[in-house]
Structure 1
Amino acid sequence: MSVFFGPAAGFQGVRNPDARGLAQRMTALQALARKKGYFNVPLWEQALRCIELAALPVLAFTLLANGGAAAVAGAILLAIHYPRTGYLGHDIAHNHWGPRNDAKPRFMLGAVALFQGYGSTWWVKKHELHHAFPNGCRVSDSGILTPIDGDIDSAPWLVWDKALAEYNSKARKSAWAKLLSLAMPRLQVPLFFPFLSLVRFNWSWQSIDIAVREKKFGEAALCAAHWIFGLALAGFLTPGPAWTGAVWFLCAQLLGGFILGIVFVLNHTGMEVYDASQAGGFYDRQARATRNTPSSIFLDWMTGGLNSQIEHHMFPTMARRNLSKMRTMTRNAMLECGYAYEEMENREALQAVLSSLGDAARA
C-alpha cells in the first residue's frame, strides 16, 4: 500500500511544505532517539556481525566441497553474504562503530574490502554526496540538469530519469558511447535486471581503480584479493573440474549483486530529480527523494534496515536495527509539515522504478 500525498515523485504536488518546521521536528526527534540510545551499536551486536562476516563464506565454501545440491545451497548462501557484508561496511562508513578513522573501524573496513571486494575510498566520497543531495542536481552553464548525486548518473549505460536525458546525451562523447546510445534507450528496461546482477563487478572495479589513483594500494590489494583467493579456493574445493568452482563463485557474485541492486534501487529511483539550489535545506532534500518499503523482522534483516530509507536519510548515523522504530514519528512529522511520506510495497516500488526507466527511455 502506498502512503503519500501528491504524485509518485514524492514531493511534486505537495502544497506549501514547511522546510523550517521539518528541520525543527527532525532535530527534536534526533535528540529523543539519542536519549533512547538508538544511535548505539552494542558490543554484542558488533561481535555478531563479525561472526557473520567470517562464518557465512566458510559455510558456503564447505557446502561447495560437498557438491550437488549442497553446492547450490552454498552459492545461495554466499550470494546472501555479499549484501549482508555490504550493509556492515555501510554501517561502519556511517560511523556506527565510532569515527571511521579510528583503529577498529579502519580494521573492519579492511576486512569488508577483503570479504566483499570493494572498498571505502571510492564508496564514502560518492555516498556522502548521495546523502547530502539525494537525487539532487545542479543546473550547468548550458542550462542542463547535471547530477550531484552520483547514484543517479550511469551515463552512457542507463538514463535513470527523463529529467537527465539531455545530460546523458551530452555525456556520450566517445564513439562507442554514441553507438551505445542508439540501443540503450530502447533496451534499458529489459536489460535492467541483468545490469543489476553486474553491480558487484562494477563496484569492485571502481573501488580498485579509485584506490590505486589515490595511492591506497593496501585497500586495492584487499579488493583484488577477494577475487583472486575466491576463484582459487572455489577451483580447489569443487568436487568437479576447477572451472566448475569458478562458475559457482561467479554465479554467487551475480545473485548477490542482484539482491543488493534491488535493495538500493527501490529507495530513490522514480522519486523527484530536482535542482538542489531550489531545495529548502538538508531535511527538505531527504523528504523530496526518498521512499520506504515494508518493514518486518525478515525484511529488516534482508535489506540491512535500508527498507527504512527515509529514517536512514533523516538520521544517517542511527544504528540500523532502530530505524524502523522511528517510522511512525518520522511519518507524523513529515505529514504535519506538508511533506509526502512515501511508503510502497516492494512490487509497487519496483513498478515505479521500471516506469521511471521507461519514461526516460522515451524522453
Structure 2
Amino acid sequence: MGGVGEPGGGPGPREGPARLGAPLPTFHWEQIRPHNLPGDMWLVIERRVYDISRWAQRHPGGSRLIGHHGAEDATDAFHAFHQDLNFVRKFLQPLLIGELAPEEPSQDGPRNAQLAEDFRALRQAAKDMKLFEAKPTFFALLLGHILAMEAQSWYLQHDLGHTSVFRKSRWNHLAQQFVMGQLKGFSAHWWNFRHFQHHAKPNIFYKDPDVTLAPVFLLGESSVEYGRKKRRYLPYNHQHLYFFLIGPPLLTLVNFEVENLAYMLVCMQWRDFLWAASFYSRFFLSYLPFYSVSGALLLFVAVRVLESHWFVWITQMNHIPKEIGHEKHRDWASSQLAATCNVESSLFIDWLSGHLNFQIEHHLFPTMPRHNYHRVAPLVKALCAKHGLIYEVKPFLTALVDIVGSLKKSGNVWLEAYLQQ
C-alpha cells in the first residue's frame, strides 16, 4: 500500500485538486485518518476525498461544524444539511484530491454498512414522497400565531434555521433574522453556529455545545472523568437539585444573552446586532410608558425566565437522559438514534413542543419541515425494527422526570468515582 505522496498513495494535502479528466488517485482509510487537524483536514463524501484545509474557514456553516467530520465519511451529514446538492458540489469540485480505494469500505471503523445503505434508501423514499417540501401556508399561519403570542416564537426561528420555507434561501435567511432578531433579540448566525453543531454531533462532548456543560453540570462520561480526577467545583451529587435554580430559570436570561452578545461582537455580526437592538428598542419603548424602568426590566426578566423554562424542558427531555460521551464515529443513523428519543404525540403535545416531540425524525432529517414528521415516522420505525435499533417513545411527564433522574444518576456516578481511593 502506497503512502501519501507515494506511487498509488495519492497526492499530499498541499498538492492541489485532481486534474479534470485525469484518473483520480486512490486513498486508504489509514492515510485519511491523520488529516483531522484545523490546518490539515480531509473529508470523504460519496467515496470521494476532499482536502478542505484552506476552504473550511469559508464554509457557510462555520469551520467548527464541518471540522467535526474531519477524516470521516461525511456523506449522510452532507445530505442531511444541504438541500441543493448540485449547487454545493460546485464548491466541492476544486477541493477533490482523490477517491477511496475500491477495496475500502465507504465508512471507516465498526459501522453498520447495511444500516447506512437502508437509511439512504429511506431518505430517498422520503424525497419521493415530497416530505422535504415545506408548505408556505403552514408557516404563514404559524407566523400569524407567533405575532399574536410571541412566547412561542422559538418555534419559527428554529424552523427557519432548518427548513427552506421560501424558494430562495436568501429570503429564508432574512425571515430567520427577522424572527430571531426582532422577535427574540438574538443573532441568527449565533443560533445557527451552535444549533447546527448540535445536529451534526448530538450528545458528543466538545462538539455539541448543548451537553458540554462541565464544570456546572456533569453528564454521562464526564461524571466518571471528574470523579477520578478529584474535581469538585460544585456538589455534583446534588446537581439534580440546583438544576432547578440555575438551569431552567437562567438559560436564556443569562447564558444565552451573554453568549449571544459575545458572538456578535467577536464575529462582528453587525446586522444581527442591529436586529437585536430593534427588539430591545421595541420592547422598552412599548412598556416604559406603562411600567417605568424598573417595571419594564422586571417584565423582561419574567418573560425570559418563562421562555427559558419552556426551552430547557422541551429541548432536553429528548437528549439529557440519552447516551452522552466522547466521539465514537458512528454512522449517521446510529449516532442520531443513540442521542434522541421521542415523546408521545397528541394535538396538545405537538403544539406545546413545536413538534420537537418527534426528535428522532427531526435529527435524522434536519431539513424536513416539521409538519411531515408524522408521515416519515412509520418509515423510521420500520428501519429501526429491521436493524434491531431502539425507537424510544416516552410519555410526556416521564420524559420530563427523566431529565432530573439522569442528572441525579450522573451526580451519584461522580460521587462514587470521587470517593474511590
Match of 1:31 in 2: 124
Match of 1:199 in 2: 251
Alpha carbons 2:342, 2:359 under 8 Å: kept: yes
Determine the C-alpha separation between the residues in 2 that align with 1:106 and 1:237: 32
Matched, 1:117 2:169: no
Matched, 1:326 2:373: no
Q: CA deviation at 1:171?
A: 11
Cα deviation code 1:251-302 (max 9, x no counterpart) = 12211110111111111112112442x3431111111111101111221111
Match of 1:252 in 2: 303
Determine the C-alpha separation between the residues in 1 that align with 2:228 and 2:346: 43
Task: Map 1:1-363; keep pairs closer than 5 Å.
Answer: 19-56=112-149, 81-82=150-151, 84-97=152-165, 101-137=169-205, 147-161=206-220, 163-165=221-223, 181-194=232-245, 195-201=247-253, 202-238=255-291, 243-276=294-327, 278-362=328-412, 363=414
Q: Which runs of 4+ in 1 moved over 4 A?
A: 98-101, 166-172
Quick one: structure 1 residues 89 and 41, their matched pair in 2 at CA, closer, same or farther if it must change by over 3 Å?
same
Question: Higher relative contact order by CA 8 Å / sep ≥ 6: 1 or 2?
Answer: 1
Number of residue-to-residue matches in the alignment: 302
User: CA RMSD of the aligned region, Å?
Assistant: 2.7
Return the letter of the residue paired with 2:191.
W
Q: Secondary structure at the match of 2:240?
A: coil
Match of 1:70 in 2: none
Quick one: structure 1 residues 169 and 52, their matched pair in 2 at CA, closer, same or farther if it must change by over 3 Å?
farther
Determine the C-alpha separation between the residues in 1 that align with 2:170 and 2:393: 36
Determine the C-alpha separation between the residues in 2 that align with 1:86 and 1:213: 24
Determine the C-alpha separation between the residues in 2 that align with 1:358 and 1:123: 29
TM-score, scaled relative to structure 1 = 0.75
Alpha carbons 1:100, 1:106 under 8 Å: kept: no
Cα deviation code 1:76-96 (max 9, x no counterpart) = xxxxx33x2122111111133
Sequence identity, in percent?
Answer: 23
Q: Secondary structure at the match of 2:138?
A: helix
TM-score, scaled relative to structure 2 = 0.65
Return the letter of the residue paired with 1:317.
T
Determine the C-alpha separation between the residues in 2 that align with 1:41 and 1:135: 28
Cα deviation code 1:327-347 (max 9, x no counterpart) = 222112112101111111122
Unpaired runs of 5+ residues, structure 2, are 1-109, 415-421
Cα deviation code 1:156-182 (max 9, x no counterpart) = 221133x1136668999xxxxx8xx54
Quick one: structure 1 residues 41 and 188, their matched pair in 2 at CA, closer, same or farther if it must change by over 3 Å?
same
Alpha carbons 1:305, 1:324 under 8 Å: kept: no
